[in-house]
């Protein structure tokens, strides 16, 4: 008897000790989380070179944000600088590399929100602002408005001294080819009725299930959260279509008392579910954890037929990155500068 019980006691003691220590060991404080879009991102469809390029770009974006935070800059500065890296990279559907509308244009949306002041800014349908995220910030800081669209937003960005570019700057062959494929599928659908009822109602097709929006949420040394999202929207979208990214509370939201959130996915579903604010509300009114609230919100989107994901960060440095697609480009950095980049499930 003694022979079997003694090791068991020892084992139980050790297990309990480890359990008691584990919260201390496992508790990581994250200071930034980013995404580069969700969709049918499968290892099987990825070349090693492409995967490496995405990993490098995401790492570079996280490093940029981390350096800003480490230097004592605000979470808003970190979010803006990080999103610049992704907007300037042709790999993501934001800034250079944005997807095309049905008419062959790049119409971009972006938003930022400050978790401390609850101030927010957004632009939609812009075609000549090199970094739409900065225009969103300018709307927040230099106007008394929250959202500006189209030509007015562009004029405002120019007056604010932002870098303006010709629309051709945003062209990439990859996205152009993507549009041609989508148009082909679209007309086939019109004839053969291959689209789902939902996608026909939306007037937008998401055949290749790929989103490449970018987003970032940061927590600065002063304990303030900020969130930002920037996107070209969805391939083959109709002129003037605005997605969830620039809609405060749908694709972007931040509140120091709850969390900072940036979403990616089929925007219409995120707008109709007011996803980002829904998460904040669950945390505020129901005292739900970040994990539970974000999981509940994504489940709801999924049940309605929408796909995508989101990133969230709370004031304690907890992160959540749920998605209901095959993959989501995403990454985190801790207060010690530990970077992690993930792509698949």
Q: Which residues are catalytic?
A: 213
Based on the shown chain and the rule CB under 6 A, indicate whether residue 213 belongs to the binding site for ligand ASP. yes
DSSP readout, 112-144? EEETTT--EEEEEEESSBS-HHHHHHHHHHHSS
Which position among 243, 249, 306, 322 is part of the footprint of ligand ASP (CB under 6 A)? 243
Nearer to ligand ASP, 64 or 262 (CB): 262
Binding piece for ligand ASP, criterion CB under 6 A, among 49-57, 157-165, 166-174, 238-246: 238-246
Query: Which part of the chain contacts ligand ASP (CB under 6 A), choosing from 2-10, 13-21, 122-130, 210-218?
Result: 210-218
- 66 vs 266 by CB, closer to ligand ASP: 266
Among 79, 234, 247, 282, binds ligand ASP (CB under 6 A): 234
311: contact with ligand ASP by CB under 6 A = no
Please report how close the Cβ of residue 183 comes to ligand ASP at its closest, in angstroms.
Answer: 18
23, 316 contact by CB (below 8 A): no
Q: Is 212 in the site for ligand ASP (CB under 6 A)?
A: yes
Q: Is 233 in the site for ligand ASP (CB under 6 A)?
A: yes
Q: Which stretch binds ligand ASP (CB under 6 A): 23-31, 205-213, 216-224, 337-345?
A: 205-213
- Closest CB to ligand ASP among residues 37, 97: 37
CA gap 265, 251 in Å, rounded: 9
Residues 37-66 that bind ligand ASP (CB under 6 A): 37
Q: Which two tokens stand for residue 325?
A: 């697609």
Which helix (H) or strand (E) segment holds residue 310: the answer is strand 308-314
Q: Smallest gap, in angstroms, from Cβ of residue 144 to ligand ASP?
A: 26
> Structure tokens of 208?
């290749």
Token pair 């950095």 is found at 333
CB of 273 to ligand ASP, least distance (A): 12
Number of residues that bind ligand ASP (CB under 6 A): 16
Tokens representing 149?
């669209």
3-state secondary structure (DSSP) of residue 146: coil
Should residue 231 be labelled a site residue for ligand ASP when binding is judged by CB under 6 A?
yes
What is the x/- site pattern for ligand ASP, positions 10-29, by CB under 6 A? Answer: --------------------
Binders of ligand ASP among 251-280, rule CB under 6 A?
A: 251, 264-265, 267
From residue 67 to residue 106, what is the string marking binding to ligand ASP with x (rule CB under 6 A)? --------------------------x-------------
Give the integer Cα–Cα distance in Å for 203 and 198. 9
Q: How many residues does the chain have?
A: 345
244 lies in the site for ligand ASP, by CB under 6 A: yes
Compute the distance between CA of residue 139 and CA of residue 155 in angstroms, rounded to an integer.
12
Q: Crossing angle, helix 275-286 and helix 290-304, to 10 degrees?
A: 140
Please name the residues in contact with 36: beta carbons below 8 A apart, sequence gap of 6 or more: 54, 57, 58, 61, 86, 91, 92, 212, 213, 214, 329, 330
Among residues 107, 146, 145, the alpha carbon closest in space to that of 125 is found at 107
Taking the complex as a whole, the smallest distance from the CB of residue 111 to ligand ASP amounts, in Å, to: 11
Q: Which residues contact 325 (CB under 8 A, 6 or more apart)?
A: 38, 39, 40, 41, 209, 211, 265, 307, 308, 309
Residues at the site binding ligand ASP, with contacts judged by CB under 6 A: 37, 93, 211-213, 231, 233-234, 243-245, 251, 264-265, 267, 308
């Amino acid at each position: 008897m003694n022979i079997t019980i003694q090791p068991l006691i020892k084992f139980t003691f050790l297990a309990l000790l480890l359990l008691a220590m584990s919260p201390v060991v496992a508790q990581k404080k994250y200071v930034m989380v980013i995404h580069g879009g969700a969709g049918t991102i499968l290892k099987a469809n990825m070349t090693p070179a492409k995967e490496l390029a995405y990993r490098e770009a995401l790492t570079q974006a996280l490093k940029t944000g981390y350096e800003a935070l480490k230097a004592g800059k605000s979470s808003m500065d970190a979010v803006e600088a990080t999103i610049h890296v992704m907007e300037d990279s042709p790999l993501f559907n934001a800034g250079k590399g944005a997807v095309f509308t049905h008419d062959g244009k790049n119409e971009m949306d972006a938003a930022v929100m400050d978790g401390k002041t609850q101030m927010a800014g957004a632009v939609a349908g812009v075609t000549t602002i090199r970094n739409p995220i900065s225009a969103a910030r300018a709307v927040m800081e230099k106007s008394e408005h929250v959202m500006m669209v189209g030509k007015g937003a562009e004029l405002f960005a120019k007056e604010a001294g932002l870098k303006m570019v010709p629309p051709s700057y945003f062209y990439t062959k990859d996205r152009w080819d993507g549009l041609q494929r989508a148009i082909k599928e679209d007309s086939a659908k019109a004839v053969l009725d291959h689209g789902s009822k939902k996608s026909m109602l939306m007037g937008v097709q998401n055949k290749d299930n790929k989103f490449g929006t970018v987003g970032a949420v940061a927590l600065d040394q002063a304990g303030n959260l900020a969130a930002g999202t920037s996107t070209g929207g969805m391939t083959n979208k109709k002129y003037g279509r605005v997605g969830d990214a620039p809609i405060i509370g749908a694709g972007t939201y931040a509140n120091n008392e709850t969390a900072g959130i940036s979403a990616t996915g089929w925007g219409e579903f995120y707008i109709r579910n007011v996803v980002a604010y829904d998460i904040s509300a669950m945390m505020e009114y129901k005292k739900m954890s970040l994990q539970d609230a974000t999981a509940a919100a994504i489940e709801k989107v999924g049940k309605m037929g929408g796909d995508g994901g989101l990133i969230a960060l709370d004031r304690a440095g907890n992160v959540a990155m749920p998605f209901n697609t095959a993959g989501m480009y995403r990454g985190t950095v801790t207060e010690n500068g530990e970077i992690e980049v993930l792509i698949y499930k």
